[in-house]
Amino acid sequence: MTIDERFRADLRGALDDAAAGVTPLDAAALIATGDRTVRRRRLAAATVAVAIALVGALAVLPGLGQRLATPIAPPTGHATLTLPLTTPTGTQDTTFTVTVLTDGTVEYAAVRDGTAVPRGGSSLAGLDGQATIGTAGDDIVLGLVPDDAVRAGLLTTATTGSFTGAPENPVPLPGTGYSAVGFRLADSPPPGPDDLEPIWWRADGTPVTNTETGTGVVLPEAEVTLWYLPGHGLLGAGTPTQGLTTIMSAGVDRLAFSKGFGPDGTVSGMIEVFLLPQDATDVVLSFTEGVDAQPTLDQVWPGAERLVVVARGDWPTPRPSGDERPLATRVAWTDAGGVRQEWTP
C-alpha cells in the first residue's frame, strides 16, 4: 500500500469513528431553535428603533439634546407698575410689567384686558451696579435701578439738569438686586432713550447715575435732603412733597420750598436752603417783615464743600399764590479771612 492509499484509509476510519458518536439530528428541534433566533433578532431591531425615536424626542426638548441652541430663560423677578398712558382720548392709568430673566434680559409689557402685550425691553448684560432703561411707548420709559434706590428719575442730556417726568418710588424685584421704575415723559415730543439718563437716590441722599456717584446730606429736623453731582454740576434739594434742581454756582445758592398750601392756593409758610462757603461763620439771616421765623439750622456738607443754612418761617396771613417775596431778605457771614460778607436774593 502506498503512502497515499494508507492516508486515505486512515482518514476514512477517523470519520467513521466521529460519526458514530454524533446524536442523530432532530429536525423539529432544529426548526424551533430557528424560530427563537428570528424572534430575538426582531425584538433587538424593535428596541433599537424605539431608542432612536426616544433620542430624537429628547433632542427637541428645552435643555436636552443639541437641537435647541438657546434655551428659554425663566424669569427671576417680576414687578407691576401703573402709569398714565397717553391715548387718543386723553390719558388713562395703565398697568405695565417689568420682568427680569436669568440671562439678564429685561422684558417690558403693557397689560390690556388681562393680557401682557410686549412693549420692548433692555438688558443687564455688562452692568455693575448700574441702571438700565428702555422705551415702552411714545412717552413711557421703564427700567431697573439698583435695589438700594429709594427714589429714581430721568435726566435729559439735551438740557443740563433738566428732568423729564416726576421722580418715582422704585418697586423691588426680590432676588435680582434691582427695583423696577417707570416714567411718563413730560417733554413733547418726548426724547429718545439715547437722550435720557437715569438717576437714583440712596437713603442717605446720595445721588447716583451710570457714570457718577455724587454726595448727599439729610437734615431730618427740616425734612430736607440735598444732593450734588460734581461731574454734572447739578445741585438738588427735596422735601417729602417737592423737589428742585439747579446748577451749583461758585457763590451762594438758594433753594426755596413752600411749607404748605391752603385750599385756595395760598402759601402758609416757606423753607429756604442757602449754600454758603464751607468756612463761613457767624451767619445771620434777615427776614421779610411780619414773618414768624423759626431758629435757623446749619450743617457743614463736606462732600460739596458748602455750609448748609436752612431758614423756616410762617406768614402772618396766608400768602396769595404768585406772591414772590422771599422768606429771608439778607444772608450775612464772616469768611475765612475775617471779612464780613452778605448776599441778597
Q: State residue 314's pLDDT score.
A: 87
C-alpha to C-alpha distances, 128 to 67, 74, 139, 203, 211, nearest whole angstrom: 33, 22, 27, 20, 11
Sheet with 132-135, side-by-side order of all strands: 132-135, 140-146, 178-184, 171-173
Q: Is the pLDDT of residue 306 over 60?
A: yes
Considering the domain architecture, whether residues 189 and 155 belong to the same structural domain is answered as yes
Q: Is the pLDDT of residue 28 over 60?
A: no
Considering the domain architecture, whether residues 257 and 330 belong to the same structural domain is answered as yes
Residue 316 makes CB contacts below 8 A (sequence gap 6+) with 290, 291, 292
Q: Dihedrals φ, ψ of 263, to 5°? A: -65, -25
Q: Which residue has the higher pLDDT, 333 or 78?
A: 333
C-alpha to C-alpha distances, 7 to 2, 3, 13, 319, nearest whole angstrom: 9, 6, 10, 142
Q: State residue 272's pLDDT score.
A: 92
pLDDT-derived band at 201, boundaries 50, 70, 90: very high
Considering the domain architecture, whether residues 191 and 221 belong to the same structural domain is answered as no
pLDDT-derived band at 267, boundaries 50, 70, 90: low
> Is 258 inside any structural domain?
yes
Looking at mean pLDDT, say which of 67-76, 187-196, 233-242, 264-273 comes out highest: 233-242
Considering the domain architecture, whether residues 258 and 161 belong to the same structural domain is answered as no
Model confidence pLDDT, tens digit, residues 79-121: 777 776 656 666 677 888 889 888 888 998 888 888 888 888 8
Considering the domain architecture, whether residues 117 and 187 belong to the same structural domain is answered as yes
Considering the domain architecture, whether residues 321 and 250 belong to the same structural domain is answered as yes
Considering the domain architecture, whether residues 277 and 175 belong to the same structural domain is answered as no
Q: Is the pLDDT of residue 70 over 50?
A: no
Average pLDDT for 188-202: 80
Considering the domain architecture, whether residues 220 and 296 belong to the same structural domain is answered as yes
Q: How far apart are CA 121 and CA 105, in angstroms?
A: 8
> Is 22 inside any structural domain?
no
Q: Which residue has the higher pLDDT, 188 or 317?
A: 317
Considering the domain architecture, whether residues 177 and 265 belong to the same structural domain is answered as no
Considering the domain architecture, whether residues 197 and 231 belong to the same structural domain is answered as no
pLDDT-derived band at 25, boundaries 50, 70, 90: very low
Average predicted confidence (pLDDT) for the chain: 76
Q: Enumerate the β-bridge partners of residue 247.
A: 234
Average pLDDT for 131-155: 86
First CA to last CA distance, the chain: 149
Helix (H), strand (E) at residue 17: helix 3-20
Considering the domain architecture, whether residues 247 and 277 belong to the same structural domain is answered as yes
Provide the domain count of the chain.
2
Pick the last residue of a domain from 202, 237, 261. 202
Q: What is the DSSP letter of 248?
A: P
> Is 43 inside any structural domain?
no
Considering the domain architecture, whether residues 181 and 88 belong to the same structural domain is answered as yes
Q: Dihedrals φ, ψ of 33, to 5°? A: -60, -40
Where in the sequence is the domain holding 118, given as residue range(s)?
Answer: 73-202
Q: Contact, 2 vs 9, CB < 8 A?
A: no
Taking the whole predicted model, whether its pTM rises above 0.95 is answered as no
